[in-house]
Amino acid sequence: MIDQLLRATQESAFANWVQETAYPYVITLHSIGLALLVGLLVLIDLRVLGFGRGLPLPALRKLMTVIWIGFWTNFASGIMLFTIDAKKDFYSPLFRIKLSSIAVGLILGTLIKRRVLDRDIEYAAVDANAPPLAKVLALCSLLCWMGAIVSGRLLAYFTFGDVGVDG
């Protein structure tokens, strides 16, 4: 049943349109979303780890709106890209690693926001140091985003097993 749904998805007129017409625009949007989402979260993670101490931690909270715009841009464009190779992606361990890394990275980003960026009084000084737990979260966040990016790129080049759509 799931194979039929995946086959129908990637043989749909929408998937064909994405692949034949919209692909350059969709992959560009995906790259822009990635830059906003991961680029800004990496900036926050590095500040939490102690880099750029001249930047007050609570000031970074303002970036969260742009981060979520990046996420939703990637979510929409990612679904469009998924339709092109739905069956291959669905069964790929790399795809599962990518999605898991994204989910954990978002959770970690939310925890960092709540535990550090939302605490104006505790971390308002420009040289404020984040607590050790926040530093661990930031390091784990960096690893998650690296995992998501690497697995996402490798996904374009590897197929695991015979998962192609049957003729």
Q: How confident is the model at residue 120 (pLDDT cuts 50, 70, 90)?
A: confident
User: Residue with structure tokens 């737990």?
Assistant: 133
Q: Collapsing DSSP states into helix, strand and coil, what is residue 33?
A: helix
Q: Collapsing DSSP states into helix, strand and coil, what is residue 2?
A: helix
DSSP state of 142: H
- The answer to whether residues 25 and 92 touch, using CB atoms and an 8 Å cutoff, is no
Q: Rounded to an integer, what distance in angstroms lies between the CA atom of residue 93 and that of residue 68?
A: 26
Amino acid at residue number 143: L
- The answer to whether residues 81 and 133 touch, using CB atoms and an 8 Å cutoff, is no
Against a cut of 0.85, is the pTM above it?
yes
* pLDDT tens digit sequence for 46-60: 999 999 988 999 999
